[in-house]
Amino acid sequence: MKLLVPVKRVIDFNLRPRVKPDGSGIDLSNVKMSMNPFDEIAVEEAVRLKEKGKASEVVVVSIGEAKAQETLRTALAMGADRAIHVLCDAEVQPLAVAKLLKAIVEQEQPGLVILGKQAIDDDSNQTGQMLAGLLGWAQGTFASKLELDGDWLNVTREVDGGLETVSLKAPAIITADLRINEPRYATLPNIIKAKSKPMAQKTAADYGVDVSARLKTLKVEEPAQRTAGVKVADVDQLLAKLNALGVMQ
């Protein structure tokens, strides 16, 4: 079974995003960018399936500016076999990403697409679901465990009340949650090996997809500053304060 893993280049998760002074978005100038953490988890899951002999090939795809190739090289260094880069200089919104992925799925014919559950820059949590809808495929979102048994997949999902296990028939869409695995670090020899792995260069026009924006960001604001806390001398004072706030009733 061939696996397709879409990976997005996003602001590094350790950084605190700075809002542009005009409120039009996040300032990405001179900011460290990395692979979306949930996509690292998706790559790890795909590579593990290949290592267990349950997958034949892992293809990674990224849609974005030229530097998205660095993110794809990281995925190749983690163990993916080849990459597809779809060059798009402007922001590509989830519906356009899903349409491009649909076109790539139709060409590549993977048995499974493993995405991250959400990209940490826009927090959309839409692409996997839209892709499943466009393809008419089954979907197992927020997967915290994935078991493959021939053409059938058991997906344990993290839902509000606990864990839910669903059984899906491939081809299917999976979106990876945090606890499914802990991604590996690429070793130096694998980083060097990744440089010679194949990377196809494409554009949205190659797939006949219109990637123009359907949503307009009106305003981005910093979260409200937290007000400073107060130190209490002892438990009695703490209880008195909580009582005064009505928290203890």
Instruction: Kindly state whether residue 39 participates in binding ligand AMP, applying the rule CB under 6 A.
Output: yes
Interface with ligand AMP in residues 191-230 (CB under 6 A): none
Q: Which stretch binds ligand AMP (CB under 6 A): 32-40, 75-83, 141-149, 217-225?
A: 32-40
Q: How many CA atoms lie within 13 A of 33 on its CB side?
A: 20
> What's the chain's length in residues?
249
How many residues sit in the footprint of ligand AMP (CB under 6 A)? 23
Between 19 and 87, CB nearer to ligand AMP: 87
Q: Which residues contact 36 (CB under 8 A, 6 or more apart)?
A: 7, 8, 9, 10, 116, 119, 120, 121
Residue from 4, 35, 94, 112 in contact with ligand AMP (CB under 6 A): 94
Q: Which residues pair with 163 in a beta bridge?
A: 158
Figure out which of the listed residues 26, 125, 164, 190 binds ligand AMP, where binding follows CB under 6 A: 125
Q: Does residue 180 touch ligand AMP according to CB under 6 A? A: no
Question: Do 41 and 176 contact (CB within 8 A), yes or no?
Answer: yes
Structure tokens at 104: 């790539």
| Residue 76 found at the interface with ligand AMP (CB under 6 A) | no
Q: Name the minimum Å distance from CB 106 to ligand AMP.
A: 16
Please, what is the minimum distance in Å from the beta carbon of residue 72 to ligand AMP? 9
- Nearest to ligand AMP of 90, 238 (CB atom): 90
DSSP, res 126: -
Among the listed residues 3, 64, 69, 105, the single contact to ligand AMP using CB under 6 A: 64
Considering only 34, 118, 139, 141, the residue that binds ligand AMP (CB under 6 A) is 118
Cα-based distances in Å from 174 to 3, 24, 69, 170: 11, 33, 23, 10
* Nearest Cα residue to 176 out of 122, 139, 138: 139
Choice from 17, 57, 103, 126 touching ligand AMP (CB under 6 A)? 126
Give residue for tokens 């937290």. 226
Using DSSP, state whether 244 is helix, strand or coil: helix
- Tell me which of 2, 3, 4, 8 binds ligand AMP, using CB under 6 A: 8
Q: Rule CB under 6 A: say whether 127 interacts with ligand AMP.
A: yes
SS3 17: coil
Find tokens 């130096």 and name the residue.
Answer: 188
| Position of minimal CB gap to ligand AMP | 116
Stretch that binds ligand AMP, among 90-98, 136-144, 184-192, 208-216 (CB under 6 A): 90-98
| Cα gap 101→132, rounded to integer Å | 10
